[in-house]
Amino acid sequence: MGTQVNEKHQDKQAYQDKQAYQDKHAYLDNAATTRVFDSVRDIMMQTLEEDYGNPSSMHAKGINAEKYITNAKNIIAKNLKVDAKEIVFTSGGTESNNMALIGTALANNRTGKHIITTNIEHPSVHNPLIFLEDCGYEVTYLPVDGNGKVRMDKLEAAIRTDTILVSIMYVNNEVGAVEDIEAISKLIKSKNANTVFHVDAIQAFGKFKIYPKRLGIDLMSVSGHKIHGPKGVGFLYIRDKVKIKPIIYGGEQQKGMRSGTENVPGIAGLGKAVEEIYTNHDDKIANLYELKQYFIDEIRKLEGTTVNAVDLPTLRETAPHIVSVSFDGIRSEVLLHSLEDKGVYISSGSACASNHPGLSGTLRAIGVKKELLDSTIRFSFSVNTTKEEIDFAIEQLSEILPVLRRYTRH
């Protein structure tokens, strides 16, 4: 009888151990999106269930709804050290980038039609510029070095008297390269003081303390769901007196800069996310860099791995949350799904372009070997990422890689 009880106990324990193992997972795709903070969820529920008025309505429900917008705008302005009137809420990073690029081009077309960008920009910058080229604008695409840094000599040579706009991302979404935004701005303004400088800060906001006026930024795009806020909301910082036209017309909300009933739950959630991400910010980022260094050290122990765009004096010269790794002899899509089966969630590049398969222009631009272009994975962390998740991911990789390579060789 005692033996049967013991066997049942062992079976139950084995089942529990198996379930615990199966429940393990590592979400390392935070550059694609993040889990919302609990406080973000709570304030959004409040606006959905209680304070659900239209912020344009004159009654109490509308006034209460408008207060959420004002509060969020003040939180963002305080963290950027700008005026609240310089913040325009949008549906996210893509709309912010489109508004910045197309709106600036339309407002300044009598001054010139020359625009400068880099060859490692996100599709939400690259594709609007293709549209503007079709409309008669000229776009210069700057090269970058092996770490994804803009070639400053090429930028200086490209700026002309008819250059109306320069758009350069703060942090590259695929490899985590960080541009020297202040130096870039100073160079632009020294060559042409009238050129508008736009920064796609979608992967940088929340990871760095960004003060647009100090850095010389005229326009800056931000997205909520990269910083534990909701999807479908973001903002564009527009420095006072910058010439820009709206690209959405309607009921004149947000002083006509972006018409349409405001997304109150999203805006409230965004404000709360900004408030929380910048609380004890230095500690959060220091922890992220520690996790990144640990991850790089561990993944380099695995055979046939190359960490991209980190050939710099210190890791602090890269973004704290993105690591690009190439794996010899394994297609990224195969590795992605093999890891997914084990509960490890990662990306093969920009999630926003995942429905358009193709080899990354960013990887080509930084000089990744041709045979590794289709063998590169992006791992990305957040303030929620734990060392245990990284250990779990490395454990799964150490088991999967030899198997996949044997299969590939056959």
Q: Annotated active-site positions, please?
A: 352
List the structure tokens of 204.
Answer: 């940088």
- Residue 144 near residue 120 (C-beta atoms within 8 A): yes
Which of 356, 332, 324 shows the shortest CA–CA distance to 127?
356
- Residue 373 near residue 364 (C-beta atoms within 8 A): yes
List the structure tokens of 61.
Answer: 């429900």
Residue 226 and residue 269: Cα distance in Å, rounded?
12
DSSP class of 224: G
- Residue 366 near residue 308 (C-beta atoms within 8 A): yes
> How many C-beta atoms surround the C-beta of residue 243 within 10 A?
15
Which of 315, 320, 280, 314 shows the shortest CA–CA distance to 171?
320
The phi, psi pair for 247, rounded to 5°, reads -115, 0
DSSP class of 168: -
DSSP-derived pairing of the beta strands 234-238 and 305-308 = unpaired
Which of 230, 248, 251, 218 shows the shortest CA–CA distance to 99?
248
Torsion of CA 248, 128, 171, 277, to 10 degrees: 20
Residue 378, H or E segment:
strand 376-380
> How many C-beta atoms surround the C-beta of residue 28 within 10 A?
26
Residue 305, H or E segment:
strand 305-308
178 forms bridges with which residues in the sheet?
A: 171
**3-class DSSP assignment, residue 343:** coil
